[in-house]
Structure 1
């Protein structure tokens, strides 16, 4: 699993791992039902503490992207079990913030929507 992590970023590494896994699922690089690497294996591969990966997996589990089991490990949920984006108030607030930042930065509504279209990947 290839991850782009920025150790100089203000975004905590566990959150970057979470985001990379969600992007991988959304882009089809990680399949629905696929078993993720063990905490130890992923931590060793990317050079972080096992607690960091464990925290990322726990967050993904809480958010409904993966299911963790002591015997099976971490497995990506089936597509029909993924959390509903549209009903998540947190996502709506993040999108409003992003749109506001784009507008303040001189981005037109159409430019912003074009960027959203480019970023959106249908799986």
Structure 2
């Protein structure tokens, strides 16, 4: 797993880290049962604060993608193919809606959005 954080990005470091771990799960690089490095180890490897990594891990736990075990590493529990509950589907829809609306408002055509969506989907298993 290769993580690259951009300190000059508008996106906070903890969010960048969480997003990249999510992408690793989506791409199949991280699978159900795999473990992430300890918070301290990840912070050292990336040269960032321990609290930043901790915040990322807690966000991933809240999303149901990892399980944090006391005095142990974080375990991937996402990536398993299963039917989502309606509330989970609604949550994804609510997250996508403003992004898609902004793209449309900026002039992206529906066909271009569909093409972009398909291109992104090809990256994941």
Q: Which residue of 1 aligns with 2:16?
A: 16
Distance 1:102 1:4 in 2: 26
Contact 2:38–2:72 (CA<8 Å) still a contact in 1?
no
When the two structures are superposed, what TM-score results if normalisation uses the length of structure 2?
Answer: 0.86
Query: Normalised by the size of structure 1, how large is the TM-score?
Result: 0.87
- 1:35-88 CA distances to partner (integer Å, 9 max, x unpaired)? 100111110111100110011111111110000102432000054487938633
Number of the residue aligned with 2:64: 64
**RMSD after superposition:** 2.2
Structure 1 residues not aligned, in runs of 5+: none
1:36 matches 2:36:
yes
Aligned position for 1:105: 106
Q: In the alignment, what sits opposite 1:52?
A: 52
Please list every run of 5 or more consecutive structure 2 residues that lacks an aligned counterpart in the other structure. none
The count of residues paired between Structure 1 and Structure 2 equals 123
Report the equivalent of 2:5.
5
